[in-house]
Homo-oligomer: A and B are copies of this chain.
C-alpha cells in the first residue's frame, strides 16, 4: 500500500468504521431479497469515498452535531442505487471482482432494489430537516439519470467530443461527489463561501476520479481492476483517452479504431494495439494531465479554509485520485 493511501486510511479509520456500521444499521430492509441484493452491492469493497467526503466537509466547517455519520450513508446508498441501475443498463458482468447483481438476482430485483436504495437515501436526507439539502439531493438524482441517458444515447458514437464527454461525467459522477461535499457544509451551517468552496472541491475531484477510472479501463488488468478491462470500449462507451486519440490519430489508425468501436468486440491482440494507439496519440497522457489539472483546481477551491488536519486529509484524498491502481 502506498504511503498516501496508508496516511488517508489511518486518518479516517474511525469514521470509516462508523460509516460501515451505519450503512448496515440504516438499511432496515423489509424483505430478505432486498437485504441480500442490497448488501451485495453495498458491502463488496466500496471505498466509501462519498460518505467520507461528506463527513470531512462537515468537520472542516466545524460541524458539532451527531447526524453526520447517519447522513453520510445517504450518499453511499444513492451511489449504490445508481451502480445497480447502471450495471443493468451497461449490461456489465463484473463489479469489484464480483458478478453484478442483475446477473445473480435478475433484472427485476436490480431495478427494484436500486429504487429502494434511492428512496432510503432520500429518507435519511429528509431527516436533516434542511430543505436545501433535499433540493441538492433531488438535483443530483435528476442530473445523474440524465447523464446516464446521455451516455446511453451516444453509445458507439465515434463523433463524441471532449466537451460532450465532460458534460456526461459532470452529470454522472462529479455532481454526486460535489453534492456530498456541499451537503456536509450545509449540515454544518457553513457560510456561502465555504459551501461553494467545498462544492467546487467535490466537483473537481469527482471529474478527476472519473478520468482516473476511465484511464484504468485501459492501463490496468482485469484481475487488479475487479472488472473486465476494456469494458468501456466493448460497451461502445467512448472515454477521454479514446476521444483524444481518435481526434489526433492518423487516418488509417482512426479508421481501424472506429471499426473496432462499431464492432464492439476485439481480441487480446487488438486490445494491445488499441492501448498502443491511445499511448501513441497522447490519449493516456492528455487524460492524466486533465485529471492533474482538476485535482489542482480542487485544492485551490479550499483556499478559504485555514490549514487543519481535516484539510490535509482532503488534500490527500484529492491526490489519491491520481495514484489509484483500482
Residues of chain B lying within 8 A (CB to CB) of residue A149: 30-31, 33-34, 109, 112-113, 116
Nearest neighbor of A115 in chain B, beta-carbon distance: B145
Complex alpha-carbon distance, A220 and B112, angstroms = 29
Report B-chain residues with C-beta under 8 Å of the C-beta of A130. 131
Would you call B122 and A138 a contact (CB within 8 A)? Answer: yes
Question: In the complex, how many angstroms separate the beta carbon of A234 from the nearest chain B beta carbon?
Answer: 16
Residue A137, interface by CB 8 Å? yes
Among the listed B34, B134, B152, which residue makes an inter-chain contact with A134, where contact means beta carbons less than 8 Å apart?
B134
Interface size on A, residues (CB 8 A): 43
Contacts A123-B139, A146-B31 given; does A89 touch B112 at CB 8 Å? yes
Q: How far is the CA of A150 from the CA of B176 in the complex (A)?
A: 30
Considering the chains assembled together, what is the distance between the CA atoms of A141 and B114 in angstroms?
A: 11
Closest chain B residue to A29, Cβ basis: B146
Q: For chain A, residues 86 to 138, give those with C-beta under 8 angstroms from any C-beta of chain B.
A: 88-89, 107-109, 111-116, 118-120, 122-123, 125-127, 129-131, 134-135, 137-138
A30 CA to B148 CA, complexed, in Å = 12
Q: Which residues of B contact A113 (CB under 8 A)?
A: 145, 149
Q: How far is it, in angstroms, between the C-alpha of A87 and the C-alpha of B110 when the chains are bound?
A: 14
Which one of A118, A149, A153 has the greatest number of beta carbons of chain B within 10 Å? A149
Distance (whole angstroms) from the CB of A29 to the closest CB of chain B: 8
Given A31-B150, A31-B153, A116-B146, answer yes or no on A134-B126 (Cβ-Cβ < 8 Å).
yes
Residue of B nearest to A32 (CB): B153
Copy count, this protein chain: 2
- Least CB distance from A275 to B in Å reads 28
Answer yes or no: A85 CB below 8 A from chain B CBs: yes
Taking CB atoms, residues of chain B closer than 8 Å to A33 are 149, 152-153
A–B complex contacts, Cβ < 8 Å, 29 sampled: A30-B146, A33-B149, A34-B146, A85-B115, A88-B108, A89-B107, A109-B149, A111-B111, A112-B145, A112-B149, A115-B118, A115-B141, A115-B144, A116-B149, A118-B141, A119-B138, A119-B142, A119-B144, A119-B145, A122-B134, A122-B138, A122-B141, A123-B135, A123-B138, A123-B139, A126-B134, A126-B137, A131-B134, A134-B134
| Chain A residues within 8 Å of B, Cβ to Cβ | 29-31, 33-34, 85, 88-89, 107-109, 111-116, 118-120, 122-123, 125-127, 129-131, 134-135, 137-139, 141-142, 144-146, 148-150, 152-153
Given contacts A30-B150, A33-B153, A123-B142, 10 further A-B contacts (CB under 8 A): A31-B153, A34-B149, A88-B107, A115-B141, A118-B118, A119-B141, A119-B145, A120-B142, A122-B141, A123-B139
